[in-house]
Structure 1
Amino acid sequence: MTRILVTTDGSELGHAALGHAQALAGAAHAAVTVLCVQADPAVLVSEFSYVPPVDPEVFAAQASALRTELQTLVPEARVRVEPAAGRTLVRAILDVAREENAALIVMSTHGRGGLGRALLGSVAEAVAHHAPVPVMLVRAGQVPAVWAATEPDRPAARHTPTA
């Protein structure tokens, strides 16, 4: 069975991709895995910064709450909330995509361009550049398309609602 990996950081923007992945999965009869990678603070700062250790109990409580929220939002999906464990967010997403044998990665993007992207970098852009499979980037507020298979042996057709 085809599997779609959809990523979120737990924010409203991060959740923007969930509806798109669900719509596409329904039309393609694909399974969905929702992934939230909890960033490793030590990877996010410079080597000269002090990073206090993360309390494992706090981490576990946050992961459990997020897992419950995501399972409620996407009940038919497999939900994975896991630590980056010393990896960058990009590496963690790519590793899970390979583990899940994903045929597509769906993720939200801020839609920054130019200087914003150059200064801040972009997890979505890096995943799109390095992923071994296609990546669908969704901007916040973008209405999910309606996908419908017209014939069993033909791919789903896309219709974007105008309202």
Structure 2
Amino acid sequence: MYRHIVVTTEGTDIDHAAIRHAAGLTRALGARLTLLHIVPDAHRELDSGNDLSVNAESIEQGWTREGEHLLAAGVQDANCARLTPLQRPARGRDIPQAILQEAAALGADLLVMATHGRKGLAHLLLGSVADRVVHDATLPVMIVHAGTPLPAGDAP
């Protein structure tokens, strides 16, 4: 079935549920798990036409350090022997595009992501990385909400 599962982390509280769910699937299927964090491209994120006198490189370095902490926390959440933490820079790509390209480069056959599940105006205003990934994906994508039960036998 699935041999290589990729789960994303971006530092939200709901990431924990997706990571634990992906780890449970990994154990049940005997698959490999990659925990993926994409470091946003500060030049792209800050390109608002304003002269903010901000050093994009130092911001990206901070985001990279934060990503390292997120990956370490995700490794603890997953508690999975066949897990590889991986951090990649977006480098000119938006986050959904970077997630899909990295998952393809890794040869993933399932992508697991968390979502807030916003509806209505909040969804229209804030958008959703998960929605964009699902729309553009060429591999199966599992969306996990914070309250999604874990697979049988994988209670924390």
User: Which one-letter code corresponds to 1:28 in the other structure?
Assistant: L
**Is the helix fraction higher in 1 or 2?**
2
Instruction: Tell me how far 1:131 sits from its aligned partner.
Output: 0.9
Contact kept, 8 Å, 2:10 with 2:70, in 1: the verdict is no
Sequence identity (%)? 34
Aligned to 2:57, the other structure's residue is in SS state coil
TM-score relative to the length of structure 2:
0.82
In the alignment, the residues of structure 2 paired with residue 46 and residue 59 of structure 1 have an alpha-carbon distance, to the nearest angstrom, of: 17
CA gap 1:46/1:71 in 2 versus in 1, 3 angstroms: same
Question: Taking structure 1 as reference, are residues 72 and 50 closer, same or farther at Cα in structure 2, changes over 3 Å only?
Answer: farther
- Misfit runs of 4+, over 4 Å: none
Structure 2 counterpart of 1:54, from 57, 76, 85: 57
Task: Give the structure 2 partner of residue 70 of structure 1.
Answer: 74
Is 1:112 equivalent to 2:118 in the alignment? yes
The aligned length equals 148
Give structure 1 stretches of 5+ with no counterpart: 148-160
| Structure with the largest fraction of strand | 1
State the match for 2:27 in structure 1. Answer: 26
Tell me, yes or no, if the aligned pair for 2:9 and 2:71 is still in contact at 8 Å: no
Q: CA deviation at 1:140?
A: 1.2
For the 8 Å contact 1:66–1:81, the answer to whether it is kept is no
Q: Please say which structure displays the higher CA radius of gyration.
A: 1
Tell me how far apart the structure 2 counterparts of residues 57 and 125 of structure 1 sit (CA, whole Å): 28
- 1:130 is matched by which residue type in structure 2? D
Q: Is the 8 A contact 2:20 2:77 kept in 1?
A: no
User: Counterpart of 1:158?
Assistant: none
Secondary structure at the residue paired with 2:14?
A: helix
Supply the AA of the counterpart residue of 1:9. E
Residues 38-86 of structure 1 deviation map (CA, whole Å, 9 limit, x = unaligned)? 2223323454134522316534533433333333333421111222122
Q: Secondary structure at the match of 2:112?
A: strand
Matched, 1:103 2:109: yes
